[in-house]
Structure 1
């Protein structure tokens, strides 16, 4: 099982750093299908893997002096940190209120599938983009992104990319870099919040001995590919990967609802 997790995490984080998917948007649905761990553990594994990927990828971009507008990153990240705390609290509240992990899993998967369908449309269909400069608007956008990513148990990558291209008229290539930077801060706040609220004793930490090294490798390779590949290639890989995850999320939602209500 550790080997399977390692392969999933490596491929997911490679895509995360390469096209801005974050990794969690792949890890969470795939591990849901495997079903070897409960929902809380899967979200924790996803957060740890995505955080490790973001650290590695950003270190690579900083070393290569990839141009980044620090003001945008910091404002979106600040909003994402607050949103991450809010999303984590919403997830805990949903788990306690329902008492049905499968139902929460179904809701997460359904929302994720809907979000991803919108992301695909925003990338494939040409639309008007903006050049948002208002700090409060950027901060609020970061808050929404962080809340969604944390509640859904993903890094938020594809949603980040869609918002960044829409709000700041970034290319897919540039949006992928900014997405990873935002993911670093949002997942950092998510893990800190988890550590303060519940601690890590209740999680299977041994699996991280496989997950984190694989995430580091994926993040490194993905950042190299992002730097070397053309915009058109990144766009194609992004659309294909997001489409596959959207279908998988829809499947997870249907099976979770059947389990919850069909007995």
Structure 2
């Protein structure tokens, strides 16, 4: 039963995540927390696998559709994302050793809500954009995005798209594509970190039979819709997801105290 719930949630989340560039984890993580069937570490792992799979599917589909990317920019952002992904997973494991799971979950929720609020107000009120071109800024942006994605277990989240638009003046549809590319590398770093440290034996790997196929289906559905949607429609989806996830996270935080 839990596997079927995860399957349906991931299809829905990854479809919206591929359209908006958020990656799906921002929806998967709080809903899995709400279900409460697995530990914080396990939920973070399943979410990372789902988002990583979606990123592969989405990127290949976008390239097949004729999308052109600035590979140099993506390379430097992804380099920072890999480093950030390693650091984020180390930080998560550290928090799990000094705090109980309830406190770690609350930390994740608070940070997620803050990034969601930033993203919502940024796209809602059209704040000023910068046009940074130095390589170091690409690395710094990737480092921040990779760290938060891995620490929060949300894959990418709303901050990816907003930060790329803010720092590099990217249109929202272009920012979603680079966001997905960044998500791929940050989650690859997270999975490799787990493999090289604690290993996968502490997780119920049979759940991947539900997680991976659902991630592929959701990624394909979302990418196909993203290609045909207008920038205005993508922004509407983006803001709608933020509002939905804010409600879920606030409810989960309230539940932690009862």
Deviation at 1:171, TM superposition (A): 1.4
Q: Distance in 2 between matches of 1:234 and 1:113?
A: 21
Deviation at 1:161, TM superposition (A): 0.2
Give the 5 Å matches for 1:92-241: 92-98=93-99, 100-241=100-241
Q: Distance in 2 between matches of 1:69 and 1:130?
A: 18
| Number of residue pairs aligned between Structure 1 and Structure 2 | 257
Q: Distance in 2 between matches of 1:166 and 1:30?
A: 29
Q: Distance in 2 between matches of 1:253 and 1:152?
A: 14
Asked if residue 246 in structure 1 is aligned to residue 225 in structure 2, the reply is no
Q: Give the RMSD, CA atoms, in angstroms.
A: 0.9
Structure 2 unaligned regions, length at least 5: none
Deviation at 1:176, TM superposition (A): 0.9
Deviation at 1:65, TM superposition (A): 2.1
SS of residue matched to 1:37: coil
Deviation at 1:114, TM superposition (A): 1.4
Structure 1 unaligned regions, length at least 5: none
Q: Distance in 1 between matches of 2:175 and 2:120?
A: 15
TM-score (norm 1): 0.96
Q: Is the 8 A contact 1:113 1:247 kept in 2?
A: no
Q: Distance in 2 between matches of 1:114 and 1:80?
A: 20
Report the equivalent of 1:44: 45
Q: Is the 8 A contact 1:72 1:138 kept in 2?
A: yes
SS of residue matched to 1:206: helix
Residues 42-100 of structure 1, C-alpha deviations (whole Å, 9 max, x = no match): 000000000010010111111122111111111111001000111111111111011x1
Q: Distance in 1 between matches of 2:146 and 2:82?
A: 6
Q: Distance in 1 between matches of 2:186 and 2:51?
A: 10
Q: Distance in 1 between matches of 2:81 and 2:222?
A: 23
Deviation at 1:254, TM superposition (A): 2.7
Deviation at 1:130, TM superposition (A): 1.2
